[in-house]
A = this chain, B = another copy of it.
Amino acid sequence: MPYRRPPAVQARLDARRDHVLEAAVRLLSREGYGGCSVAAIAAEAGISTGSVYQSFAGKSELAAALFRTLVARELEAVAACADLPGTAAHRVAAAVEIFASRALQAPRRAFALLAEPADPAVDTERLVFRRAFRDVYAAQIAAGVASGELPPQSPELTAAALVGAIAEALVGPLADGDADPGEVIPGLITFTLRALGGHDAADA
């Protein structure tokens, strides 16, 4: 039987880890990954650099955990659209709108997560999560194809293409900072509906 820490001890460890992660989130939101050295995160958390290593094996693990923490929330928000009423196309469009509007509300952070040059460990997480987003979209698309609402297509391919399209369409406005985001979301939704091949694209 494996050793387990007493619950109170484990809770302390978790709390400290969360504390560090929250500091990292603040730093990422302000300065992107460029500002997320171990020393800077420790300072933001109000602890010493050495203490960071009580919770994380190293800088790469911290950067990856930070990414997973934030992007898992986005994935959850997008996945929740699976339960909405309406057609598959509308559910996908709703997911796109949710994703894009959340990104535009925290542009610096969204750019950091989507595209900022960063530790290769972050790139690796990007690949993992993009695949997870793809799977969420693919399930909806597969349902639409099965019901005859959408034309025959590979759900995985269309879903992957959509994930890339959404990300890249946001990168420009997010990076520029000043681009009027008002037109981005409607444009993205129209793009999405057309790409799915439903016949209601013009209605969006």
A binding-site residues for B, Cβ under 8 Å: 115-124, 127, 130-131, 134, 151, 153-154, 156-158, 160-169, 171-172, 175, 183-184, 187-188, 190-191, 194-197, 201-202
Asked whether A157 lies within 8 Å of B184 as measured between CB atoms, the reply is yes
- Secondary structure type dominating chain A contacts: helix
Residue in B118, B127, B201 whose CB lies within 8 Å of A171: B127
In the assembled complex, which residues on chain B have CB atoms less than 8 Å from the CB atom of A188?
157, 161
Instruction: Name 8 A/B residue pairs within 8 A (Cβ), A-sorted.
Output: A119-B120, A127-B171, A158-B187, A161-B166, A161-B168, A161-B169, A161-B188, A194-B197
Q: Is the CB of B120 within 8 A of A191?
A: no
A138 to chain B, nearest CB (A): 11
Contacting pair B121 A120 (CB below 8 A): no
- In the assembly, how many copies of this chain are there? 2
Give Cα A29–Cα B163 distance, bound, in whole angstroms: 26
Given contact pairs A171-B127, A175-B127, A161 touches B117 in the complex (Cβ within 8 A): no
Q: How far is the CB of A191 from chain B (nearest CB, A)?
A: 5
Task: Determine the distance from Cα of A162 to Cα of B201 in the docked complex, in whole angstroms.
Answer: 17
Which of B122, B127, B167, B169 meets A157, CB within 8 Å?
Answer: B169
In the complex, what residues of B have CB within 8 A of residue A158's CB? 187, 191
A156 to chain B, nearest CB (A): 7
Q: Across the interface, which residues of B come within 8 angstroms of A184, CB to CB?
A: 157
Residue pair A123, B127 in contact (C-beta under 8 Å)? no
Evaluate contact between B187 and A153: CB separation under 8 angstroms: yes
Would B183 and A160 count as touching, CB distance under 8 A?
A: no
Kindly state the separation between the CA atoms of A167 and B160 in the bound complex, as whole angstroms. 9
Report yes or no: B160 in contact with A172, Cβ–Cβ below 8 A. yes
Q: Which residues of B contact A134 (CB under 8 A)?
A: 168, 172
**In the assembly, what is the distance between CA of A141 and CA of B119, in Å?**
35
Interchain nearest-CB distance for A161 vs B (Å): 4
Question: Inside 8 A of A122's CB, which chain B residues have their CB?
Answer: 117
Would you give the shortest CB distance from A182 to chain B, in whole angstroms? 11
